[in-house]
Amino acid sequence: MAECHPVGYQWVMEARARGAKVFHIDPRFSRTSATVDRYLAIRAGTDIVLLGALINYVLSNGLDFREYVLAYTNAATLVNRDFRDTEDLDGLFSGFDEETGRYDPSTWAYEGDVPGEEEPVEGGERHAEAAGSDSYGARGAGASATPPSDPTLTDPRCVYQILKRHYSRYTPEMVEELCGIPPELFLELAEAVTANSGRERTTAWVYSVGWTQHSVGVQYIRAAAILQLLLGNMGRPGGGIMALRGHASIQGSTDIPTLFNLLPGYIAMPHAHRHDSLDHYLEQEGADTGWWGNRRAYVVSLLKAWWGDAATEANDYCFDYLPRLTGDHGHYATVMGQIDGTVKGYFVVGENPAVGSANGKAQRLGLANLDWLVVRDLMLVETATFWKDAPEIETGELRTEEIGTEVFFLPAASHVEKEGTFTNTQRLLQWREKALDPPGDCRSDLWFYYHLGKRIRQRLGDDDIDRPARELTWDYPEIGAQRDPDAAAVLREINGTAADGRLLASLRELKPDGSTSCGCWIYCGVYADGVNMAARRTPHTEQGPVALEWGWAWPANRRILYNRASADPQGRPWSERKKYVYWDGAKWTGPDVPDFEEDKAPDYRPPEGAKAEHALAGTDPFIMQSDGRGWLYVPSGLSDGPLPTHYEPHESPVRNALYGQQANPARRTVDRPENPYNPALSPRFPYVYTTSRLTEHHTTGAMSRPLPYLAELQPEAFCEVSREMAEELGLENGAWATIVTARTAIELRVLVTGRVRPLRLNGRTVHQVVMPYHWGYSSGGVITGDIVNDLLPIVLDPNVYIQESKAGTCDVLPGRRPRGSALLDLIERYRDG
């Protein structure tokens, strides 16, 4: 966090100054490790072992916050009697199909739920659909608001007992063997975390892509969620699990997604085989209880925002205009489509996949096989210049004259040359004022897409294919000499309006009957009463610590989600010290906006047959879930199991000591010649690598390498190795090393450091290599270097299709890499054996 979010880290330092104890768990000793109370070095890719052991520590010592757990989680809920755990199946859950490599999740359901509603998809196989866990509150389809439960937590089929059995083998000894963390350090962590949780205290977990970029990435976060729920650390001040996101509006680009599987507000894109009508779609996608029960209002309002008067009840509000998915259309699938020739045209906007994505060679081979490519950026990124300076040109795999891709580079406006909102990592929208016009041909992406849309619409025909684009609402006021579309008008469309054009103040005003329009339901209220709430700037010195008058957080300006949980079931603060949102006898109140219906009393019990939020009791804080509970166990929505389970990374030098199952059985691999894998446990690739960032640079370097002030601070690509490893391999500080995987080999400067230590795993030594990945070949930067992500394989988490960047295997050689075709020969030798 000190490394990549230094200004946010001021609050950690402040907490430390006030007595908070801070642990840092990371394969890499970073600037964060240097400034905490205790640093735990962990082998990359083993965090579920550690988190599982913490869960086990809590459960076996009875340290859970029982009142919270009973009232607010699904600990007591009974699970289907056909469910089989990894304990029973040596690392597999029930329902796994060896042939397809996928799970049928029906046995994971709650007792009494009928999980048979989903229709067969993709060749008639029933399986957990991917890229869906971030939509619909884990797609609560089939999970009821009041499943059978055992409040004594003794029934062997209740979640609590299942959890206990599942994590029983996650012991301190296992932590030492797999993670490389000695038992005394584990105990120090476990004692600190548990002692610092409960009524009077809360513990927070902060993570970043070190947890997500794994073939079991989603389950890392789930494991933390289980621990936090057991300790009562969710929905309370000082608690939670904080995702530290890496880009200015990466949260916004998930909320208003440029993601294939989502529509704005985490609404699922319709699927060809499941959703032939709006009704059918709404029926399938989500539960009827909890706030997702209102999804018809969200979806219809979105369709009204996009197709305006053309969207009527009679035509299903143009639901048919939405294109349909048929499977994985994620980034890596797209790249394969480029290599195969199905993808012809590609827009790359403020991204640099030639450097930033796993297996850079596959990325560039895809780019080289396009008909046309549009790149918009501040500088000439590698993705724009690959046709003349990609590594494949040097090796002879590509020749500039033979690359048929037509490339348009359009310079972008910077953040000060346009107005609009970023959504930061805490869901806070902040409006930026425009300081000046962009120079030359530079234009905002708003300008580009608006004017491109206008031009495309001028070229449309009268037929049915063009109708969705023809009837699209696409009129925004144009401002200034450059005819910029008015970003505030776009934000107003996102906020939504009533039939009379009045700007909506709250998402509770959204209607399912087509009388409201709203471009993103969770953002409804950002322009309440015609006021741009995201532009509010009351200084922090002139308001309370929650600072509700600075910007606007979705939903409804709530700063801590699920903050109903900060009070006990009766609505009283858990403690005076941790007082936050509470019931004052007539309404919920506190320094934050309650994430709950303000007037729903703690003793409210839903009547039979109630829907949406009305189906949740006054004691159900997790209002997006179908049962209003925090899910220790996830009965549906995940494709690799209801409980986090440790699997080794796809490429690992270590055998999974917990189960016979080595790696995540449901992980997605891309078995193609462009994407060869290092065999697991291969002696050819004995070292573990992890990739990282540096404070001085930004992702692929497009916004840092061209800047002399940043480039001089970290001018060359390097790797960090331990003294022991340097000695063993003859690596010299400041000299070169070549890192080899089955994909390619790259050269990096060597930084020999005592901060990296060899890990002792049950008597065996494992060396780790840490590589920041900010460099590339483009002359647009004042500094260049080999591309670390070229080393990575494409192997994906099965839920969200994120790649495993953070743990893999490699070989390391002293000296520089071979040039030209000799590089290919080297890789060939490694692949052969």
Partner 1 sequence: MGAGWLSRWPVIRQLKGEDGRGQAARSARTDALRPRVEGADTVARSVCPYCAVGCGQLVYVKDGRVTQIEGDPGSPISRGRLCPKGSASKQLVTHPGRQTTVLYRRPHGTEWEPLDLETAMDMIADRVVRTRRETWQQTHEGQEVRRTLGIAGLGGATLDNEENYLMKKLYTALGAIQVENQARI
Partner 2 sequence: MAERMGFFTDTTVCIGCKACEVACKEWNDVPDDGFVFRATSYDNTGALGASTWRHVAFVEQDGRWLMSSDVCKHCTHAACLDVCPTGALFRTEFDTVVVQADVCNGCGYCVPACPYGVIDRREDDGRAWKCTLCYDRLRGGMEPACAKACPTKSIQFGPLDELRQRAEERVERLHAEGTTEARLYGADPDNGVGGTGAFFLLLDEPETYGLPPDPVVTTRDLPAMWRWAGGAALALAAGVAVCFAGRKP
Q: How many CB atoms lie within 10 A of CB 490?
A: 16
Strands 38-41 and 96-97: unpaired
Q: How far is CA 138 from CA 72, 148, 263, in A?
A: 17, 20, 15
Angle, in degrees to the nearest 10, between helices 360-367 and 331-340: 50
Among 409, 508, 724, 729, binds partner 1 (CB under 8 A): 409
Nearer to partner 2, 5 or 650 (CB): 5
List the single partner that 667 binds among partner 1, partner 2, none, CB under 5 to 8 Å by kind. Answer: none
Cα torsion 595, 599, 605, 608 to 10°: value is -90
Closer to partner 2 by CB, 531 or 713: give it.
713
Q: Which one of partner 2, partner 1, none is in contact with 680 (Cβ closer than 5 to 8 A by kind)?
A: none
Of the candidate residues 51, 55, 267, 487, the single one contacting partner 1 (CB under 8 A): 487
> Interface with partner 1 includes 484 (CB under 8 A)?
no
Q: Which amino acid is at 238?
A: G
The least distance separating partner 2 from the CB of residue 415, rounded to whole angstroms, comes to 16
Task: Classify the phi-psi angles of 420: left when phi > 0, otherwise alpha if psi is within -120 to 50, otherwise beta.
Answer: left
Interaction partner, residue 192 (partner 2, partner 1, none; CB < 5-8 Å by kind): none
Q: Which does 99 bind (CB under 5 to 8 A by kind): partner 1, partner 2, none?
A: none
Rounded to 10°, the helix 159-166/47-60 angle is 120
Residue 499 interacts with partner 1 (CB under 8 A)?
Answer: no
Mention every residue, 6+ apart, whose C-beta is less than 8 A from residue 502: none
Question: Out of 85, 285, 417, 595, which residue is the one contacting partner 1 (CB under 8 A)?
Answer: 417
- Does the CA dihedral 607-609-610-615 come out positive or negative? positive
By the rule CB under 8 A, 527 interacts with partner 1: no
- Which C-beta is closer to partner 1: that of 442 or that of 617? 442
696 belongs to the binding site for partner 1 (CB under 8 A): yes
Judged by CB under 8 A, how many residues of this single chain contact partner 1? Answer: 163
Residues in 135-194 that interact with partner 1 by CB under 8 A = none
The single-letter DSSP state of residue 523 is: G
Q: Which does 315 bind (CB under 5 to 8 A by kind): partner 1, partner 2, none?
A: none
Q: Does 100 bind partner 1 (CB under 8 A)?
A: no
Binding window for partner 1 (CB under 8 A); candidates: 72-80, 214-222, 344-352, 562-570 = 344-352
Shortest approach of partner 2 to residue 534 CB, angstroms?
A: 24
| CB of 36 vs partner 1, minimal distance in Å | 18
Residues in 760-819 that interact with partner 1 by CB under 8 A: 780, 782, 800-803
* Binding piece for partner 1, criterion CB under 8 A, among 76-84, 103-111, 334-342, 749-757: 334-342
- Least Å distance between CB 539 and partner 1? 3
425 binds, among partner 2, partner 1, none (CB under 5 to 8 A by kind): partner 1
Rounded to whole angstroms, the Cα distance separating 555 from 595 reads 8
Residue among 468, 686, 814, 818 that touches partner 1 (CB under 8 A): 468
Shortest CB 818 distance to partner 2, Å: 21
Return the residues of window 710-729 that contact partner 1 according to CB under 8 A: 710, 713
Please, are residues 179 and 42 in contact by the beta-carbon 8 Å criterion? yes
Taking the complex as a whole, the smallest distance from the CB of residue 363 to partner 2 amounts, in Å, to 27
Could you give the dihedral angle defined by the CA atoms of residues 708, 714, 717 and 718, in that order, rounded to the nearest 10 degrees? 170
Report the partner that residue 124 touches, choosing among partner 2, partner 1, none (CB closer than 5 to 8 A by kind). none
Those residues with Cβ within 8 angstroms of residue 63's Cβ, 6 or more apart along the chain or in another chain: 57, 194, 231
Site residues for partner 1, window 303-322 (CB under 8 A)? 306, 320-322
Q: How far is the CB of 291 from partner 1 (least distance, A)?
A: 21
Which parts of this chain interact with partner 2 (CB under 8 A)? 2, 6-7, 9-10, 13, 17, 29, 31-35, 694-696, 708-716, 718, 733-734, 749-751, 753-755, 782-783
Binds 281: which of partner 1, partner 2, none (CB < 5-8 Å by kind): none
493 lies in the site for partner 1, by CB under 8 A: yes
Sign of CA dihedral 747, 749, 750, 753: negative
Distance, CA of 406 to CA of 395 (rounded, Å): 22
What is the SS3 assignment for 472?
coil
* Residues 222 to 281 in contact with partner 1, rule: CB under 8 A: 244-260, 263-264, 269, 272-273, 276
Q: Please state whether the peptide bond connecting residue 183 to the residue before it is cis, i.e. omega within 30 degrees of 0.
A: no
Q: What is residue 499's three-state secondary structure?
A: coil
Quote the DSSP letter at residue 490: H
If one asks whether residue 426 binds partner 1 (CB under 8 A), the answer comes out as yes
| Residue 490 or 601 having the CB closest to partner 1 | 490
Identify what 450 binds: partner 1, partner 2, none; CB under 5 to 8 Å per kind. Answer: partner 1
Q: Is residue 609 within 8 Å of residue 146, measured between CB atoms?
A: no
Measured CA to CA in angstroms, residue 523 lies from 235, 254, 307, 519 at distances of 20, 12, 19, 8
Residue 344 in tokens = 């012809």
Of 622, 632, 625, 621, nearest to 567 by C-alpha is 621
Residues 19, 62, 501, 539: which binds partner 1 (CB under 8 A)?
539
State the Cα–Cα distance between residues 538 and 179, nearest whole angstrom. Answer: 46
- Collapsed DSSP state (helix, strand, coil) of residue 163: helix
Instruction: Provide the 10 A C-beta neighbour count for residue 84.
Output: 14
420 in contact with partner 1 (CB under 8 A): yes
* Binding site partner of 306, from partner 1, partner 2, none, Cβ cut-off 5-8 A by kind: partner 1
Q: Choosing among partner 2, partner 1, none, which partner's interface includes residue 783 (Cβ < 5 to 8 Å by kind)? A: partner 2
> In Å, what is the CA distance from 88 to each residue of 82, 165, 166, 216, 386?
12, 10, 9, 20, 51
- CA distances for 677 relative to 161, 652, 664, 730, 740, angstroms: 39, 11, 15, 27, 12
Does residue 604 bind partner 1 (CB under 8 A)? no
Q: Concatenate the DSSP letters of all residues of 228-259 into one string.
A: HHHTT-SSSTT-SEEE--SSTTTTHHHHTT-S
What does the alpha-carbon distance between residue 813 and residue 748 come to, in Å, rounded to a whole number?
11
Task: Pick from 456, 498, 729, 824 the residue near partner 1 by CB under 8 A.
Answer: 456
Q: Which does 259 bind (CB under 5 to 8 A by kind): partner 1, partner 2, none?
A: partner 1
- Report the residue from 102, 126, 169, 434 that binds partner 1 according to the rule CB under 8 A: 434
**Chain centroid offset of residue 241 CA:** 13
Q: Is 592 in the site for partner 1 (CB under 8 A)?
A: no
The verdict on 372 binding partner 1 (CB under 8 A) reads: yes
Residues 9-68 within binding reach of partner 1 (CB under 8 A)? 10
